[in-house]
Amino acid sequence: MNKLLIVGTVAFDAIETPFGKTDKILGGAATFIGLSASHFNVKSAIVSVVGEDFPQEYLDLLTSKGIDISAIEIVKGGKTFFWAGKYHNDLNSRDTLVTELNVLADFQPKVPQNFKDAEVVMLGNLHPLVQTSVLDQMTTNPKLVVLDTMNFWMDCALPELLDVIKRVDVITINDEEARQLSGEYSLVKAAAKIHTMGPKYVVIKKGEHGALIFHGKEVFFAPALPLEEVFDPTGAGDTFAGGFSGYIAQSENVSFDNMKNAIIYGSNLASFCVEKFGTKRMETLEKDEVIARLKQFRALTQFDIALQ
């Protein structure tokens, strides 16, 4: 079984949407990535940090999904990273109300010995130096390194971000971030420019408008599934990345054709994530539901025009 190494936050979120609000609940990029990747036949581990306030039941949940949590450091007396946000009515934009870095401020990731040869590394959104440190600890070249990041690091740590971007195979960012990183408005041109920064594959996430993957002159598009209700978009991008990296790790096939399947899987899993608050939907998601929705993706996109 292939190994998937996941690095990212394990955190508390407090979320407000037009449909309701939560107290502190389970959140964090690595949490969503891990839950999503647990749908594949891979051995996965999370490298992260939490405080002593982090409930054992949350750790138990990750373990119950087959995720190795031995590299989630628990800082004695420390407090877990906390984010609070409020979504606007269209759910496409949000205001950050609280960001408490807490134990994340001094996070030194330690890759477990038995994951230093992981076939796939999924670098969740974190400070680029943390992402770099993880790559430095690998003893075997991974088959695929996937990096997720956000505009915050483009604003505050661009040189460090560019350094780590050089070393990854796949970058996943949203459309606005792709424009910011490249200085190009056209996503085709943005992807071409980002290719020159290192990544052979550029995934551009457009939220409810789906996701594109570029590889040189090749491009593929995974739509978002049209849903009656989007309840809470938190974690959808991480769930997408977890589906993408989990599928690749399982199949151990890094061809562009296989990456098409991987972003369809990512979009599929993300479509469940948004149906309930936080991780709630992903906690109970069953394989037959995923397969049924893959059929919906097929019906949504497949056509048969005779090219006369």
Q: What is the DSSP letter of 184?
A: -
- Least spacing, CB of residue 200 vs a second copy, in Å: 18
Residue type for 196, please? T
* For a second copy, the closer CB: 125 or 174: 174
81 or 265: whose CB is closer to a second copy? Answer: 265
CB of 236 to a second copy, least distance (A): 16
At 134, the amino acid letter reads V
- The one-letter amino acid at 184: E
φ, ψ dihedrals at 78, nearest 5°: -90, 160
Q: Which is nearer to a second copy, 159 or 307 (CB)?
A: 307
Least distance to a second copy, CB of residue 176, Å: 11
CA distance 168 to 199: 6
Instruction: Measure the CA angle with vertex 228, ends 227 and 229; round to 5°.
Output: 90
Q: How far is the CB of 234 from a second copy (least distance, A)?
A: 18
In the chain, the largest separation of any two C-alpha atoms, in whole Å, equals: 70
> For residues 125 and 267, which CB has a smaller minimum distance to a second copy in the complex?
267
- Closer by beta carbon to a second copy, 97 or else 227: 227
Residues 34, 26: Cα–Cα separation, whole Å:
13
**Smallest separation, CB 186 to a second copy (Å):** 6
Q: What is the Cα–Cα distance from 36 to 233, expressed in whole angstroms?
A: 15
CB 187 to a second copy: min, Å: 6
Backbone angles phi, psi at 222, to 5 degrees: -110, 115
Of 1 and 188, which has the nearer Cβ to a second copy? Answer: 188
| Separation in Å, CA 175 to CA 29, 137, 150, 206, 210 | 19, 31, 11, 6, 10
Residue ranges in contact with a second copy by CB under 8 A: 89-90, 185-189, 206, 209-210, 212, 218-221, 223, 226-230, 257, 260-261, 264-265, 291, 294-295, 298-305, 307-308
